Amino acid sequence: MNLPSEQDDQKAFLRAFGHIQERILQGELSVGDKLPTERSLAMELGISRGVVREAIRALQAYGVLDSRPGRGQGTRIIAMQGAALGQMFSLHLATAAQSQSDLAETRVALERSAAKLAAAVWTPPLLEELESLVETMDATTVMQTYNDLDTQFHQQVAIISGNPVLRDLTLAIRGALRTPILRASRALEDWGSLRERLCTEHRGIYEAIAKRDEEAAADLVEAHIRQASASLFG
């Protein structure tokens, strides 16, 4: 009797993973739809239920599937959350070769649009959260805390924009850059001077958004990203 090899298991896993992924990409399965049972998928693909289960768990980790016990529940397709996207993007940044200038250009393109939209559509509760972040950053001198608040500031602008694609991409990219930015900050000889400049720039962005000055908000975000990237990464 020939037992399945580790390589065979890997091929079966990729087959199950790719099958579910393709059905989502082709529109056969949409957000809210229930996934076929492990048993039926295993029979359809000619693989074991255990391998199907592992593929489902992987897609759950990616934030694509959600499984709940109970009658009528099962595994369903869900809208991918920004946190899951951020985790995958963090792994991409850690393992792929890309320049900080390329990342800065990508951020400029995304965050200019987010800032313009935020200036046009903000609501008082969301704007108050942005103002609170600015005030907390002004009072914060602990580098790691400041870095966390800085990340939240850029993410909050994207949230205010109301565009879910801009929001999720910005949350993912800025969240993934949190550790590299903190590492670069620790390597600076005079982080305090950079912090003061960043505080001024963040307040300027907030004020432009609050005034509903779309072009100023976009221009200030672009200048901020470019200058911060140059200071941190050269």
Locate all alpha helices (DSSP H) within the chain, ordered by sequence.
6-25, 38-45, 49-61, 82-95, 100-121, 124-138, 143-161, 164-176, 178-186, 191-210, 214-233
Contact indicator for 12, 49 with CB cutoff of 8 Å: no
- The pTM for the full model equals 0.73
Locate all alpha helices (DSSP H) within 122-163, ordered by sequence.
124-138, 143-161
> What tokens appear for 180 in the block?
């590299």
Find residue 68's DSSP bridge partners.
Answer: 74
Segment 66-125, tens digit of pLDDT: 888 767 678 998 876 666 666 676 667 666 666 778 888 999 999 999 999 999 999 999
Segment 21-59, tens digit of pLDDT: 899 888 898 888 999 999 999 999 999 999 999 999 988
Do the domains 6-77 and 82-233 sit in the same CATH topology, yes or no? no
CA–CA gap between residue 31 and residue 79 (Å, rounded): 6
DSSP single-letter state for residue 34: B
Q: 81 phi and psi, to 5 degrees?
A: -90, 150
1 pLDDT band, cuts 50/70/90, is very low
Largest CA distance in the chain: 74
Q: Which CATH class is domain 82-233?
A: mainly alpha
CA–CA gap between residue 192 and residue 147 (Å, rounded): 13
Q: Which uninterrupted H or E stretch holds 77?
A: strand 74-77
The full set of domain ranges for the chain reads 6-77, 82-233
Contact indicator for 36, 77 with CB cutoff of 8 Å: no
Segment 116-174, tens digit of pLDDT: 999 999 999 999 999 999 999 999 999 999 999 999 999 999 999 999 888 888 888 88
DSSP single-letter state for residue 33: P
Q: Which CATH class is domain 6-77?
A: mainly alpha
Mean pLDDT of 220-233: 95
